[in-house]
Amino acid sequence: MALEHAILVSLSEQPASGLELTRRFDRSIGFFWSATHQQIYRVLARMERDAWVHARTVAQHGRADKKVYAVTPAGGRELARWIGSPMAGDPFRSEVAVRLRGASYGDRSAVLAEVRGLRAEHATRLAHYELLEKRDFPDPAALSGHDLDVYLVLRGGIRLERFWVGWLTEYLDAHGPYDGSDHGADA
C-alpha cells in the first residue's frame, strides 16, 4: 500500500539500487517503515513496469553490476498525488499490548523479565536517536523544507521511544513492588 511511496520518497532524496534501498530501510527510513530486500526488489520491478522509476545499470569496480533507480516525472506526480491524498491514522497493532493484557494467563514473572528487556532495548534506541539529533541537527530552528521534515520525523522517533520507555516503566512499577534495578541479567 505505502511501500511504493516510501520508496519514492527515498529515491527522491537520493537515487539508489535495490540493495542500497534495503540498507536505508534498515536505517533512517526503517525507523518508521521496514521492508525486506525481496519485497523491495519485487515492488521496484512493478514500479519500473509502471514507469514510476527508471533503472540505469552501473558497472562497479570489482563488484557485480547494480541497477540504480531514479524517480521519473510520472513517479514524481504519483508521489505528489499520494502526499496530498486524505491521510488515515496509522492503525496501532501491538503484540506487546496483547501479551501485557493476557499476562495473568501465563507466567507473570517471565513477562516482567521480557518487559525489562524490551524497555532496555527502547532506552538504547532512544539514546541512539538523541545522539543523532544532537549530531545532525544542532540548530533545529534554522531548518526548513525537506531538512526540517527529516528532523521532525526523527523527533517522532524520539517521542515514540519515550512513549515505550514510559509505558513499560509504568507497567513494571505497577507490577513490581521491587525496585527498578535488576537482581538478574537483563534490563
Partner DNA sequence: ACCACCTATGCAACTCGTTGCACAGAGTGG
Partner DNA sequence: CCACTCTGTGCAACGAGTTGCATAGGTGGT
List contacts with DNA (CB under 7 A).
Answer: 1-3, 17-20, 34-39, 41-42, 44-45, 60-67, 91, 93
Site string for a second copy, 30-59 (x = CB under 8 A): -xxxx-------------------------
152 binds, among a second copy, DNA, none (CB under 5 to 8 A by kind): a second copy
- If one asks whether residue 25 binds a second copy (CB under 8 A), the answer comes out as no
Print the SS3 string covering the chain.
CCHHHHHHHHHHHCCECHHHHHHHCCCCHHHCCCCCHHHHHHHHHHHHHCCCEEEEEECCCCCCCEEEEEECHHHHHHHHHHHHCCCCCCCCCCHHHHHHHHHHHCCHHHHHHHHHHHHHHHHHHHHHHHHHHHHHCCCHHHCCHHHHHHHHHHHHHHHHHHHHHHHHHHHHHHHCCCCCCCCCCCC
Among 54, 99, 130, 133, binds a second copy (CB under 8 A): 99
Among 49, 60, 62, 87, binds a second copy (CB under 8 A): 87
**Closer Cβ to a second copy, 55 or 112, answer by number:** 112
